[in-house]
Structure 1
Amino acid sequence: MVSDPIFEEIHHLQEENEERLVHLNHAFHSKQERNQILSDIIGAKIDDTVTVLLPFHTDFGKHITLGKHVFINRNAMFVDLGGITLDDHVLIGPRVNLITVNHLLEPTNRRGLFTKPIHIKKNAWIGAAATILPGVTIGENSVVGAGSLVTKDVPDNVIVVGSPAKITKKIES
């Protein structure tokens, strides 16, 4: 089996992030302190309007961009090597998984990686325990139903549910 040489660097970066995550998730912090630690994890100032309930999990953190008035519920997992962008007013339910990394299919290269960014547009709502896979964009005002598996882009103003997620309704303004 061939192992991708970038794995050593990936593991090193994950270890650097681990100490901050342990500190964040295993002690009480005011909202201001929590947002400061999260700002250190992602490497950019988080707006005071952002709320993240703990525990929060990420492998790197440095590839996350958060807009204003974002709400992230408990036990969210952001696998962010490929990049995760949450626009303003996004709601993330409990136990949501945002996964930007996948392994290669060819057995001899299985330990290799490919990454694609996730973008969740303004005012979208991701329901509890939903999983968003690499390269997916969730459209503005759209809703992903609880427990759904999103494998393809979701247009603006729709509700998707299921595994794989399919459009069940258009949202009328």
Structure 2
Amino acid sequence: MKKLLERIKEIDEILVGDEIFEEIHIIKEENEKLICEINNGYKTNEERLKFLEKITGKEIDKSVVISLPFQTDFGKHITFGKNIFINKEAMFTDLGGITIEDNVLLGPRVSLITVNHIIDPIKRRGLTTGEIFIKRNAWIGAGVTILAGVTIGENSIVAANSTVTKDVPDNVIVAGTPAKIIKKLKI
């Protein structure tokens, strides 16, 4: 999967009919089966983490806690640190890559969206991507949407129902749509 992510990062657009477009959709279909299984019935956190390891293809630290339901459309481009909490109904659109460092809190209904469609109407079914990077000790509030290519700074807080369209520096609180700095944290 690492090679696929590297190839995606090297191109500006993924167009319908491209070989890589077809490859992505095969993996996406395989992931959908695992997502149905993880969200079907009660599972202990240990069982959830085993499913996350199948979904991501990576070892997940036992300190990660995830509440169900959890959604991801691709699954293979997610990297988790340690001591992360993910609340219910999180949606990870991870084709462009999502990295979550240690001690991060994600509120309910958080959406991390690393994919966008192309503006040109002729190419609109095609995709562009941008990695989301959430640094150590960040807190992402309920209902937040973080868009492609955004980094959330260390210790920073994104207030509930905000939409983050630009990088957030370390040690601040942002709020609104689009999210703007409303306070600097004294750390």
TM-score by length of 2: 0.89
Evaluate the alpha carbon distance shift between residue 137 and residue 90 of structure 1 in structure 2; reply closer, same or farther with a 3 A threshold: same
The aligned length equals 172
The whole-number CA distance in structure 2 between the counterparts of 1:4 and 1:51 is: 38
Report the secondary structure of 1:57's partner residue: strand
Corresponding residue of 1:63 = 77
Shift of residue 80, structure 1, vs aligned partner: 0.2
Report the secondary structure of 2:168's partner residue: coil
Are residue 51 (structure 1) and residue 65 (structure 2) matched? yes
Shift of residue 112, structure 1, vs aligned partner: 1.2
The whole-number CA distance in structure 2 between the counterparts of 1:3 and 1:21 is: 24
Shift of residue 9, structure 1, vs aligned partner: 2.5
The whole-number CA distance in structure 1 between the counterparts of 2:127 and 2:51 is: 29
Deviation readout 1:73-130 (Å, 9 max, x if unpaired): 0000000000000000000000000000001111111111111100000000000000
TM-score by length of 1: 0.96
Report the secondary structure of 2:133's partner residue: strand
Runs of 4+ in 1 over 3 A off after TM superposition: none
Corresponding residue of 2:151 = 137
Q: Tell me which of 144, 148, 161 is aligned to 2:162.
A: 148
Shift of residue 7, structure 1, vs aligned partner: 3.5
Shift of residue 32, structure 1, vs aligned partner: 1.0
Corresponding residue of 1:170 = 184
Give the unaligned 5+ runs of structure 2: 1-14
Corresponding residue of 2:11 = none
Is the 1:53–1:74 Cα contact (8 Å) retained in structure 2?
A: yes
Shift of residue 11, structure 1, vs aligned partner: 2.2
Are residue 13 (structure 1) and residue 53 (structure 2) matched? no
Report the secondary structure of 1:167's partner residue: strand
Structure 2 counterpart of 1:95, which letter? R
The whole-number CA distance in structure 1 between the counterparts of 2:126 and 2:72 is: 20
Calculate the aligned-residue CA RMSD, in Å: 1.1
Q: Tell me which of 8, 16, 36 is aligned to 1:3.
A: 16
The whole-number CA distance in structure 2 between the counterparts of 1:79 and 1:85 is: 12
Matches within 5 A, 1:17-166: 17-166=31-180
Is the 1:4–1:111 Cα contact (8 Å) retained in structure 2?
A: no
Give the unaligned 5+ runs of structure 1: none
The whole-number CA distance in structure 1 between the counterparts of 2:161 and 2:68 is: 20
Structure 1 counterpart of 2:65, which letter? T
